[in-house]
């Protein structure tokens, strides 16, 4: 089974520019998560989707970050405008919508550098 796919793997932008990241979860996984991992820290949840609905976006900086999962499959995370402190790895994870499992599967991440 194919894993979680993310693109691009690396992105370098100037502050105040916009950037978008894409994630394709494992087929059949209804739940999708976006995490931000700042260097030297553990991943922090930004937003959680169940199918195409938002379950939790309480930690998403909504003045500049947005995310969507229009058809309940792949998802896009956008930052507009970017700040220096947004430099981080953005991880996408997915999970089956199944009470028997709570394991999340992670993609390789997108490393964002804001100059």
Partner 1 sequence: GDSVTQMEGPVTLSEEAFLTINCTYTATGYPSLFWYVQYPGEGLQLLLKATKADDKGSNKGFEATYRKETTSFHLEKGSVQVSDSAVYFCALSKKNTGNQFYFGTGTSLTVIP
- DSSP three-state, residue 2: coil
Q: Does 25 bind partner 1 (CB under 8 A)?
A: no
> Which of left, alpha, beta for 2 (phi over 0: left; psi -120 to 50: alpha)?
beta
By the 8 A CB rule, do 5 and 107 touch? yes
Q: How far is the CB of 35 from partner 1 (least distance, A)?
A: 8
Q: Does 31 bind partner 1 (CB under 8 A)?
A: yes
Q: What are phi and psi of 52, to 5 degrees?
A: -105, 10
Q: Which is nearer to partner 1, 7 or 17 (CB)?
A: 7
Region 56-75 residues binding partner 1, contact defined as CB under 8 A: 56
Distance (Å) of CA 43 to CA 38, 40, 99, 110: 7, 10, 23, 13
Q: Which is nearer to partner 1, 81 or 108 (CB)?
A: 108
Of 12-20, 35-43, 62-70, 78-86, the window that binds partner 1 (rule: CB under 8 A) is 35-43
Question: Residue numbers of the site for partner 1 (CB under 8 A)?
Answer: 4, 31, 33, 35, 40-45, 48, 50, 55-56, 91, 93, 95, 99, 102-109
């Amino acid at each position: 089974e194919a894993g979680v796919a993310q693109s691009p793997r690396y992105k370098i932008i100037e502050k105040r520019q916009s950037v978008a990241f894409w994630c394709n979860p494992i087929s059949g996984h209804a739940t999708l998560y976006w995490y931000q991992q700042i260097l030297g820290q553990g991943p922090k949840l930004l937003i959680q989707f169940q199918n195409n609905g938002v379950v939790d976006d309480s930690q998403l900086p909504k003045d500049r970050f947005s995310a969507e999962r229009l058809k309940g499959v792949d998802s896009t995370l956008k930052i507009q405008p970017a700040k220096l402190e947004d430099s981080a790895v953005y991880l996408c994870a997915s999970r089956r919508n199944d009470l028997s499992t709570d394991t999340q599967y992670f993609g390789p991440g997108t490393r964002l550098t804001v100059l």
